[in-house]
């Protein structure tokens, strides 16, 4: 990331809203924001395949579900946060990933400016590409500050997105099992 451009951009933004960039409380803000960007947008430079490469043979090919994975992301339209929980399930095809690897995969995509709908699909795509499972189902539930603190201003409203692939798309009872497990 270009830290100098981020710092200059923050200075210009502060000046643009009428702030005094030389006032004590704002002197270090451009540098703080530049450091913060490295953390919250770090997923831009990260390959989810690195996390999903560590796999183990699995005799049991039943549903694997990691639920309530807390995530924080940033809306690409307003650069405001959205946050919530991810629920990720797959039916193994002889191989499984470590459970922490599912959470790390969610984190890779959450740490990019984007929209929730794409993030849901990206998580499913990564699982399909690297685990080659029989099926995948992903659900994200999130509150978007671009909806709660500006615009329509409806705090507490949640957006839910899902994606089903493979045997999940073919078997409604499997989808129902997933939905019951995440409640």
Catalytic positions are 75-78, 116, 144, 146
* Total Cβ atoms within 10 A of residue 179: 13
* Total Cβ atoms within 10 A of residue 113: 16
Residue 153: exposed, middle, or buried by beta-carbon count in 10 A (0-12, 13-18, 19+)?
A: exposed
Pairwise CA distance, residues 168 & 181, whole Å:
14
- DSSP-H helix ranges across 18-166: 29-40, 48-52, 99-110, 116-131, 145-148
Q: Is residue 157 within 8 Å of 147, Cβ to Cβ?
A: yes
Q: Would you state the structure tokens that stand for residue 79, as one six-digit string?
A: 């650069």
């Amino acid at each position: 990331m270009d830290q100098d451009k981020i710092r200059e951009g923050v200075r210009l933004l502060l000046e643009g809203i009428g702030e005094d960039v030389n006032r004590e409380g704002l002197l270090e803000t451009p540098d703080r924001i530049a450091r913060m960007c490295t953390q919250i947008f770090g997923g831009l430079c990260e390959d989810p395949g690195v996390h999903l490469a560590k796999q183990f043979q699995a005799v049991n090919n039943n549903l694997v579900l990691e639920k309530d994975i807390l995530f924080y992301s940033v809306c690409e339209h307003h650069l405001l946060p959205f946050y919530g929980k991810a629920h990720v399930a797959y039916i193994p095809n002889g191989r499984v990933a470590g459970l922490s690897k599912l959470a790390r995969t969610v984190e890779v995509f959450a740490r990019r400016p984007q929209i929730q709908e794409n993030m849901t699909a990206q998580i499913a795509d990564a699982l399909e590409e690297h685990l080659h499972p029989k099926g995948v189902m992903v659900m994200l539930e999130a509150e978007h500050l671009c909806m709660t603190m500006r615009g329509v201003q409806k705090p507490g409203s949640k957006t839910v997105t899902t994606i089903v692939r493979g045997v999940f798309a073919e078997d409604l009872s499997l989808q129902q099992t997933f939905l019951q497990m995440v409640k």
